[in-house]
Amino acid sequence: MQEWKKNIRQVVPYVPGEQPKEANVIKLNTNENPYPPSPKVKEQCAKICAKTEELRLYPDPTAGMLVEAIAKYKGLDSNQVFVGVGSDDVLAMAFLTFFNSEKPIFFPDITYSFYDVWADLFKIPYDKKPLDENFMIKKDDYYWKNGGVVFPNPNAPTGVLMPLDEIEDIISHNQDVIVIVDEAYVDFGGHSAQQLLSKYENLLVVQTFSKSRSMAGMRIGYAMGSAELIKALNDVKYSFNSYTMNRPSILLGTASVEDDAYFKETVEKIIHTREWFKAEMRKLGFTFPDSQANFLFASHPDVPAKEIFEAARANNIYVRYFDKPRINNYLRITIGTDEEMKKFLKFLTSFLKSQK
């Protein structure tokens, strides 16, 4: 082995969901929103193109316009909002900024697959706390001494929502460390821990434009917290890369926030489709924890999830399958349009029949 190879950081890279290039695929595998972004985003896009000469200039390193739009929308001060290149960037910066204890950080065993990847990357010790048999977080697992706590709410890939009083219980038992609530899916029926911010200075709430705002392609995420946490995040961000948000992200993100009616309308449509889809899935014999996200985490008593996954794929319908302990008989199915879900249900009906 050449000497220089010894100093290369060894990581097990995260494998993202497939991004098929074929046009005729029904893509229910990466929890994208089936509806386009707000028409205001299109209008703002045209303005950017009319002035491409501005692309020669660095963006505002504070992304001030976007930060202020989010703060105003959320009823916060602008020093309580941090923006990044998707919530993955925000969360990675938060791990790097806040998890510097010798003690392990705690997160669920079944959860967003990036947490252990970031912990490994930054050499943060961690301890995974098993969900119960119904995929619920057991709050008393989080009462022990730790270096920080992070969990999604609703949890991913289960879709299970934790009530706000239980979240507060975890935070109140962890006032010596930073607690991160990752709310990528909260707009689809959850209650945000944002309302606890005034009570807990050590709480960070992370949200994203990738799901409910139909802007996964723009990479915009944000964190809300006390001015002190947000300043610490910004200090690390400025040390890493002062200009993370490009001009289109700042401008198009702001346009999205300013169109609340459209946002609410599309979110409602997805919730409506999800509830109808749940009923149809039950009729087909699927079981699943009750999802409050834009996906369903479903298992069938008779047919292995992996077989359904592969057969769906062969029929140009992509869903997500995780070959991991405890969840390797589940499919994570994104809620698309009614039409897409009908096609998927039609495929399932005929596939299940063929397996009898």
Please report, as residue ranges, which positions from 11 to 50 form the binding site for its own copies (by CB under 8 A): 11-17, 19, 27, 30, 32-37, 41-42, 45-46, 48-49
Q: Which region, judged by CB under 8 A, interacts with its own copies, from 69-77, 96-104, 288-296, 342-350? A: 96-104
| 45 contacts 252 by C-beta, under 8 angstroms | yes
> Tokens for 173?
């038992």
- Does the footprint of its own copies cover residue 9 (CB under 8 A)? yes
Interface characters, 114-153, with its own copies (x: CB under 8 A):
---xx-xx-------------------------xx-----
Segment contacting its own copies by CB under 8 A, of 112-120, 160-168, 181-189, 292-300:
112-120
Give the shortest CB-178-to-its own copies separation in angstroms: 6
Q: Which of 238, 260, 283, 326 binds its own copies (CB under 8 A)?
A: 238
Q: Are 163 and 296 in contact (CB under 8 A)?
A: no
- β-partners of residue 224 are 81, 205
Going from the C-alpha of 120 to that of each of 21, 126, 242, 336, the distances in angstroms are 31, 9, 25, 33
By the rule CB under 8 A, 101 interacts with its own copies: yes
Give the per-residue SS3 of 205-257.
EEEECCCCCCCHHHCCEEEEECHHHHHHHHHHHHHHCCCCCCHHHHHHHHHHH
* Sites for its own copies among residues 198-217 (CB under 8 A): 201-202, 210, 214-217
Within residues 63-92, the interface with its own copies by CB under 8 A covers: 85-86, 88-89, 92
The SS3 call for residue 264 is helix
What DSSP assignment string belongs to 53-122?
GGGGSPPPTT-HHHHHHHHHHHT--GGGEEEESHHHHHHHHHHHHH---SSPEEEESSS-THHHHHHHHT
Closer to its own copies by CB, 177 or 348: give it: 177
Q: Least CB distance from residue 134 to its own copies, whole Å?
A: 30
**In terms of CB distance, is 2 or 134 closer to its own copies?**
2
Draw the binding track, 244-263, toward its own copies (x: CB under 8 A; -: no contact): xxxxxx--x-----------
| Interface region with its own copies, contact rule CB under 8 A, candidates 52-60, 158-166, 278-286, 344-352 | 52-60
- Which tokens go with 52? 């491409």
